[in-house]
Amino acid sequence: MEIGIIGSGKMGAGLGRLWAKHGHHVMFNYPRRPEKLGAFAQEIGPDAQWGTPRDVVRFADVVLLAVPWSGIGDALSDAGSLDGKTLISCVNPFGPGGLEVGLTSSAAEEISKLVPGAAVVEAFNTIFASILYSSADLFGDKPPTVFYCGDNPEAKTKVADLIIDAGLQPVDAGPLQNARYIEPLAMLMMELGHSQRMGADIALRLMHPAAATEPLKGAEELAGSRS
């Protein structure tokens, strides 16, 4: 795939690097602070392509948006039209007091409103970037789970493939609206890693015993359910 990366943080660099290793063509946008370019290029390797946000979008079928919540307006405005593109958002609505949207909306839904012509898929927002740089066997044969959600099936299939190519376990979490349930999980991971001092090498995995074949019959299984 032709993949564009908007955002030059650890997450964008880490995923772009892994995808490039898998034979995808990856273009990064130049970092906002040019003095960071050297270190960033070193992380990614010599084959990286670079461009302005508009170059990146023109180049790519799939665009990863990996910028802080406060930066999405500028980033999407710099990027120009995303019509027809698959836009992967790993943006979490973190603010000084916690999550800035939730319950009745989510960062992914707000981003989708800003670029209605793009097929937005939320993914990669509950994993720490550092695990993208770790040795392949940090978690043995049990890779961490990446929940992804969105409303466009073709776009979701592409994203599931890219999750696998990043060495992670894709789990389809339904429509884009379910980002309301995934973004708080990112906040929980931040609390565990930071406030609870568990570090940045922790990750969640959804376990699904091979013997389990019965679909859940009702909404009665979790306490407080609507049944």
Question: What residues from 163 to 202 belong to the interface with a second copy (CB under 8 A)?
Answer: 171-174, 178, 180-202
Distance CA 224, CA 227 (A): 8
Q: Which of 67, 79, 118, 166 binds a second copy (CB under 8 A)?
A: 67
Figure out which of the listed residues 19, 40, 69, 148 binds a second copy, where binding follows CB under 8 A: 69
CB of 61 vs a second copy, minimal distance in Å: 21
Q: What's the CA gap between 74 and 93, in Å, rounded?
A: 15
Q: Which residue has the tokens 């890219």?
A: 162
Whether residue 64 contacts residue 15, with contact meaning beta carbons closer than 8 Å, is answered with yes
Closest contact distance (angstroms) between CB of 48 and a second copy is 19
213 binds a second copy (CB under 8 A): yes
Give the 3-state secondary structure of residue 149: strand
Among residues 58, 42, 6, 25, which one has the least CA distance to residue 162?
A: 25
Beta strands (DSSP E) in 8-48 are 25-29
Q: Which of 93, 109, 119, 156 binds a second copy (CB under 8 A)?
A: 93
> Which C-beta is closer to a second copy: that of 35 or that of 141?
141
Q: Does 33 bind a second copy (CB under 8 A)?
A: no
Does 208 sit near a second copy (CB under 8 A)? yes
As to burial, measured by CB atoms within 10 angstroms (0-12 exposed, 13-18 middle, 19+ buried), residue 194 is exposed
Binder of a second copy out of 1, 2, 10, 157 (CB under 8 A): 10
Query: What's the min distance (Å) between Cβ of 33 and a second copy?
Result: 13
Q: How far is the CB of 165 from a second copy (least distance, A)?
A: 18
Looking at 20, 126, 158, 170, which residue binds a second copy (CB under 8 A)? 126
- Minimum CB distance to a second copy, residue 21 (Å): 20
- Strand order of the sheet with strand 2-6? 49-51, 25-29, 2-6, 62-65, 86-89, 119-122, 145-150, 169-172
Instruction: Return the structure tokens found at 72.
Output: 């999405």
Which of 86, 215, 97 has its CA nearest to residue 162? 86
Least distance CB 30 / a second copy (angstroms): 18
The single residue among 144, 155, 168, 176 that binds a second copy, judged by CB under 8 A, is 144
